[in-house]
């Protein structure tokens, strides 16, 4: 019989028996580390959960067990095979509550199932084709005042473009002029989200609320029901103290007003018999006429969810793509050759001819996944691989870390769009690449984002060359609610 090395990590057992991620502090566990140095935290996971390791690590925190997973097979279990045993992360729900409420991103159970089933057809690739022209028109308008040779803050520009596209295609709203105002409100709201996702106060509130909810659920009858409802309410943020809290309240007021205006405009257009064919109009039709009507609040939550999820992430992906092209002149030349071969400005009919452009975008999302961390909470006890997890165990998943496993992505820091040639894609496990998540909760807007990226990139690259001021340096990263360029990515643009 082979002798077992005394220090070989366990590969089965309870969460308490899992190898612990290094860097835990005495009283705070990993909580402070994840809040103060997210990049260091992620790099530690990459180092400590490589190929051949048990694939999961224990995260030390007070309250329920927390597990970090960085193995494609375990990810497959959490996101796909056993997806029903998991709800969205409680911390994420808390942090996104002011913006997204109970929208598709944060809801669970019956509410999520109903909304997803109903909204999925609207995001089918065929249905999205009618948005192509608007995506190109918005981009054309955005670059009108770009001057040859100037240095532009490209992330600011891609945010304006992506926000205007979201406004136009989802709600037929012209947000171009308002983009800065709305952009600031969203930034303030997302700053609060980022600061409060791992805050100790938020954790205490969530843990206390969850315990009350479970206590109520264990008691039959109306008292149990009331306690469980109260527990659920405690898990939502109610008070917004401090300067950041004030900014959040002002931001939500502004965004609510804008959403209400959009709703009012749609309703007025519907009474005139000219409702625009946009997503908001379809949401409102279901709201005003449908069975199982959505409440006003639900419409608002879905709209803000789509608006936030629909532009913030794509904007970062586009900015990173341009920066990576700026650092890789050979690949830039090849993409330019591809977009120059189109007969004119890009259209949806050209998408099949923009294969390299798509691969470049996919590779940018691998290196810089805008949603770099997300999570789940087990809604029942279960086994994951050979590990047993109790109900309420939190699971942390990171596209950033799985995208850097050298067994799945050789030489992981190298920018190489060929990784996404069909034969290479087919050879990898599905859960090796997670910029959009996977399984039933996969991003509903993934086709929307890819199509937008192909069209916007083709449009920009047909007109301009992009160069980094100092190509030898990697742009600084900001790991907030999403992964963004810390300095808005200054790039020099040269007219072609
Ligand atoms: C590059 C762009 C994008 C990235 C990287 C991205 C990333 C993600 C990820 C990782 C998830 C899953 C989170 C989880 O499983 O917990 C998700 C869900 C979601 N995304 Fe995206 N997204 C992008 C674009 C979009 C767009 C364009 C829209 C809408 C127009 C959108 C709307 C949503 C919604 C509503 C969900 C929740 C789906 C559900 O739970 O049923 N996203 N996104």
CATH class of 1-100+372-434: alpha beta
Lowest average pLDDT, out of 214-218, 446-450, 490-494, goes to: 214-218
Per-residue pLDDT tens for 205-252? Answer: 788 888 888 889 989 899 999 998 888 888 788 777 788 889 999 999
Domain boundaries, the chain: 1-100+372-434, 173-275
Average pLDDT, the chain: 88
**Nearest protein Cα to ligand 1, atom 17:** 443
Tell me, in angstroms, the distance from the centre of ligand 1 to residue 262's CA: 22
Question: In this structure, which residue's CA is closest to atom 8 in ligand 1?
Answer: 436
Q: What is the DSSP string of 444-493?
A: TTHHHHHHHHHHHHHHHHHHEEEE-SSTTSPPPEEESSSEEETT--EEEE
Q: Residues near 338 by Cβ (< 8 Å), separated by ≥ 6?
A: 353, 354, 355, 356, 357
List all residues whose CB is within 6 A of at least one atom of ligand 1.
88, 104-105, 116, 305-306, 309-310, 313-314, 317, 365, 370-371, 374, 435-437, 441, 443-445, 448-449
Give the confidence band of 33 by pLDDT, cuts at 50, 70, 90.
confident
In whole angstroms, how far apart are CA 155 and each of 37, 110, 192, 404? 23, 37, 20, 24
SS3 407: coil
How far is it, in rounded angstroms, from Cα 257 to Cα 248? Answer: 14
Quick: pLDDT tens for 340-391. Answer: 999 999 999 999 999 999 999 999 999 999 999 999 999 999 999 999 999 9
Supply the residue whose CA is at minimum distance from atom 31 of ligand 1: 445
């Amino acid at each position: 019989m082979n002798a077992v090395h005394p220090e070989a990590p366990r590969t089965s057992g309870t969460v308490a028996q899992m190898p612990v991620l290094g860097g835990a502090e005495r009283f705070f566990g990993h909580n402070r580390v994840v809040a103060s140095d997210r990049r260091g935290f992620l790099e530690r996971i990459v180092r400590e959960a490589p190929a051949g390791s048990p694939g999961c690590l224990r995260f030390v925190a007070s309250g329920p067990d927390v597990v970090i997973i960085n193995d494609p097979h375990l990810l497959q279990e959490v996101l796909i095979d056993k997806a029903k045993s998991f709800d969205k992360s409680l911390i994420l729900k808390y942090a996104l509550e002011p913006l997204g409420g109970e929208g598709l991103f944060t809801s669970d159970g019956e509410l999520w199932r109903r909304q997803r089933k109903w909204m999925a057809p609207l995001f089918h690739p065929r249905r999205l084709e009618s948005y192509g022209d608007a995506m190109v028109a918005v981009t054309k308008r955005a670059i009108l005042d770009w001057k040859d040779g100037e240095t532009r803050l490209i992330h600011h520009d891609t945010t304006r473009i992506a926000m205007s596209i979201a406004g136009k295609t989802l709600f037929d709203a012209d947000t171009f002029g308002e983009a800065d105002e709305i952009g600031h409100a969203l930034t303030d709201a997302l700053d609060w989200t980022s600061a409060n996702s791992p805050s100790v106060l938020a954790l205490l509130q969530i843990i206390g609320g969850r315990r009350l909810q479970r206590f109520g659920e264990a008691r039959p009858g109306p008292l149990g029901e009331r306690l469980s409802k109260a527990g659920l309410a405690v898990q939502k943020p109610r008070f917004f103290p401090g300067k950041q809290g004030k900014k959040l309240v002002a931001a939500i007021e502004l965004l609510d007003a804008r959403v209400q205006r959009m709703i009012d405009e749609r309703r007025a257009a519907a009474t005139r018999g000219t409702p625009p064919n946009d997503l908001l109009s379809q949401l409102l039709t279901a709201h005003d006429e449908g069975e199982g009507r959505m409440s006003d609040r639900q419409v608002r939550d879905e709209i803000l969810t789509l608006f936030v999820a629909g532009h913030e992430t794509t904007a970062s992906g586009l900015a990173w793509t341009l920066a990576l092209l700026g650092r890789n002149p050979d690949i830039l030349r090849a993409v330019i050759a591809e977009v120059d071969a189109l007969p004119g400005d890009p259209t949806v009919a050209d998408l099949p001819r923009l294969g390299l452009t798509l691969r470049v975008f996919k590779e940018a999302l691998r290196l810089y996944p805008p949603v770099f961390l997300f999570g789940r909470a087990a809604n029942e006890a279960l086994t994951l691989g050979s590990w047993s997890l109790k109900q309420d165990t939190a699971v942390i998943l990171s596209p950033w870390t799985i995208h850097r496993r050298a067994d799945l992505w050789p030489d992981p820091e190298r920018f190489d769009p060929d990784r996404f040639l069909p034969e290479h894609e087919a050879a990898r496990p599905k859960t090796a690449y997670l910029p959009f998540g996977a399984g039933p909760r996969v991003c509903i807007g993934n086709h929307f984002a890819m199509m937008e990226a192909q069209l916007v990139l083709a449009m920009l690259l047909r007109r301009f060359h992009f160069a980094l001021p100092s190509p030898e340096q990697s742009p600084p990263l900001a790991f907030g609610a999403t992964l963004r360029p810390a300095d808005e990515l200054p790039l020099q643009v040269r007219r072609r």
